[in-house]
Amino acid sequence: MSTRRLKFKAETKRVLDLVIHSLYSHHDIFLRELVSNASDALDRLRFEALTDESLVDEDHEDRIELIPDEEKKTLTVRDTGIGMDGDEMARELGTIASSGSRSFAKLLEENRPEEIPELIGQFGVGFYSAFMVADTVEVFSRRAGTDQGYRWRSQGEDTFTVKEVDDLPVGTSVVLHLKEDREEYLDSYTLRSLVSRYSDYITYPIVLAEPGSDERPVLNSQRPIWTRPEEEVSEEEYNEFYKHLAHMTEEPLDRLTYHGEGVREFHALLFLPRSRQMQMMMPDYKSGVSLYVRKVMIKEEAEELLPRYLRFVRGVVESPDLPLNISRELLQSNATVRVIRKALTRKVLSWLGELRDGRIDDYRILFDQFGDLLKEGVYSDYDHQEELADLLLVHTSGSPDEAVPLKDLAEEMPDDIETLYYVTGSDRRELAASPYLEKAKREGREVLLFDSPADEIMLQSLGEYRDRKLVSLSKESDEDLTEEERERKETAEEAYAGLLEYMKDTLNEQVSDVRFSPRLQDSPCVLIADRNDPGEAMRSILKAMRQDVPDMKKILELNPNHDLIEKLDHLYENDRSSPELEGSVRMLYDLAVIMAGGRPDDPATFGRRVADLL
């Protein structure tokens, strides 16, 4: 019988080192991690057995055992779950393959050690926590449906071994050879209290099996936490359940229990995470809600239960009204599932609304992490568009650093103001200082500052909010000029008609038009977008969809009251072919580019012109 000796993948080794050298200040958590894995393995066996009965023997019993052995100084966590074959062991226990730890390993690769302590809290490292209390870990396992068993073994150094072992029962035993100073985990009292503290919600029996004792006490109550009355469950129990479910080690931001009654009955226990796991933002990430039917998990990531944009919500939904053997493919067209989805969506949106109204600081944390997903909702879910727009937080010229609810802003506005001004860009502090805001400042109006790529797409779909038109200040629009402003513009256009023509000719390659604007007060000029310009974010999306999108030239607007224009005109009237005139016009354009957050095409020439001027 051969023994394979394998090396841990480099990043696994680093995680291992971090774990062993005690990143966690309390080692207790190793037990809940191993019990959580055992419970996952039992879930998977139940689930696979739905379609393949031969996987479970007649005398099969779902069970997790804790076996403390005083003599050998070992603690064994044994389960009758799905088990692993040799390759699975090498893969799952030899590399960081678990969902969360993979992103963690990526950060290690990218060498961002300063973020590690925070991240290890976020992702957890599951199985590897065994090495916090054991110097040698052995895993004996046989996968359901196969005959050969295997043993995985490691001392937490560079390597591990995998070898074949005969006569193993189906399931997995994790044998911890406890470190000398960790022998407290042999004590039955300690084990009892750890289980009731961290693992009571596990729906399978956790049995204490002390060698030499005939008693086999069950340490947990086994009741699914989502069916228990809220006042009966402690905050800590809810939090532990969340950590098990979400594979997170930090506490959730908020929790909701919901019992849907009426035509269809269902129980939901939902959580809002404090921070996002990286995969959540990936396109192929599914929902964070698991579906149970009569205590059996039917689907771990049931994307049928909530709209995609709510995929950050984690939790469990259980309905007795669904058939146990429902195929995953049929879930979407199932009437009960559709009813649940509708009720759940409404519930979650109003829950978020309550959080916004009652706990704005927490809501800001949430929005900071998942706001882009809510924006995705605004442009993808017309049925709930208004409610979703109510959930937006925005930065404004009056509050560029702290986001405020868009709803409050609109409610506090005088009724006779029919528009909401906004600007889009990539940095809101830059936006707050941009010349686009001058007109609004003069009018004493707040301007919304949008700086995420999701914003432009959302704004195009939204169009208006609470009967107020959303108006971009960085796009052409004469619609809301006053009579006086219009007049000023026309007078200037007449007075400087020659100069305007000259500038249009000179900047022909760069801009589609040059004209005067009443929106400027202090700055000499500004670049604005054509009203049909889809915006940068939209343009890159269209391009990715292989749509033809012409790069649209901007419009250069001049401030008729600025001294610079007077001077340019003077040059123009004196000698229209002077290189100084052309140089100055080009410099003015470069200036506008810089003020719009861009960089001049030819920074060297621009620099020289400025230097000459000085």
Interface residues with ligand ADP (CB under 6 A)?
A: 33, 37-38, 40-41, 79, 81-84, 92-93, 98-100, 126-127, 172, 247
CB-CB neighbours of 302 under 10 Å? 24
| Nearer CB in complex with ligand ADP: 41/349 | 41
| Nearer CB in complex with ligand ADP: 104/436 | 104
The rounded distance, in Å, linking the Cα atoms of 29 and 198 is 8
17, amino acid identity = D
| Nearer CB in complex with ligand ADP: 276/488 | 276
Q: How far is the CB of 36 from Mg ion (least distance, A)?
A: 5
Q: How far is the CB of 30 from ligand ADP (least distance, A)?
A: 11
Q: How far is the CB of 247 from ligand ADP (least distance, A)?
A: 4
Q: Which residue is nearest to ligand ADP (CB)?
A: 126
CA atoms 541, 546, 548, 553: torsion sign: positive
Q: How far is the CB of 316 from ligand ADP (least distance, A)?
A: 17
DSSP β-bridge partners for residue 58 = none
Q: Three-state SS for 4?
A: strand
The rounded distance, in Å, linking the Cα atoms of 481 and 502 is 26
| Sheet order of strands, 554-558 included | 511-516, 554-558, 525-528
Residues 120-159 that bind Mg ion (CB under 5 A): 126
Query: What does the per-residue mask of binding to Mg ion show for 76-115, with x meaning CB under 5 A?
Result: ----------------------------------------
User: Are the beta carbons of 279 and 104 closer than 8 angstroms?
Assistant: no
The rounded distance, in Å, linking the Cα atoms of 243 and 121 is 11
Q: Where are the alpha helices (DSSP H) in 52-85?
A: none
| Nearer CB in complex with Mg ion: 126/156 | 126
Residue 600, contacted partner among ligand ADP, Mg ion, none, CB below 5-8 A by kind: none
Residue 271, contacted partner among ligand ADP, Mg ion, none, CB below 5-8 A by kind: none
Q: Measured between alpha carbons, how far is residue 459 from residues 133, 378, 413, 424, 433 in Å? A: 54, 9, 19, 10, 21
| Nearer CB in complex with ligand ADP: 247/489 | 247
Q: How far is the CB of 186 from ligand ADP (least distance, A)?
A: 21
- In the structure encoding, which two tokens stand for residue 47, read together? 């689930």
Q: Three-state SS for 86?
A: helix
Tell how strand 149-154 and strand 464-465 pair up.
unpaired
Residue 515, contacted partner among Mg ion, ligand ADP, none, CB below 5-8 A by kind: none
| Nearer CB in complex with ligand ADP: 131/496 | 131
Residue 279, contacted partner among ligand ADP, Mg ion, none, CB below 5-8 A by kind: none
Residue 345, contacted partner among ligand ADP, Mg ion, none, CB below 5-8 A by kind: none
Q: How far is the CB of 37 from Mg ion (least distance, A)?
A: 4
Backbone conformation region of residue 402, classed left if phi is above 0, alpha if psi is from -120 to 50, else beta:
beta
Tell me which stretch binds Mg ion (CB under 5 A): 35-43, 327-335, 481-489, 578-586. Answer: 35-43
Q: How far is the CB of 34 from ligand ADP (least distance, A)?
A: 7
| Nearer CB in complex with ligand ADP: 38/298 | 38
CA atoms 11, 45, 313, 271: torsion sign: negative
CA atoms 554, 559, 562, 567: torsion sign: positive
Q: Residue 318: which of 236, 199, 203 has the closest Cα?
A: 203
**37 near Mg ion, judged by CB under 5 A:** yes
* Helix-strand-coil split of the chain, %, nearest 5: 45, 20, 35
Q: How far is the CB of 314 from ligand ADP (least distance, A)?
A: 14
Q: How far is the CB of 28 from ligand ADP (least distance, A)?
A: 16
Number of residues that bind Mg ion (CB under 5 A): 2
| Nearer CB in complex with ligand ADP: 66/82 | 82
- Please provide residue 104's backbone torsions phi and psi, each rounded to the nearest 5 degrees: -60, -45
| Nearer CB in complex with ligand ADP: 142/554 | 142
Interface contacts to Mg ion, rule CB under 5 A = 37, 126
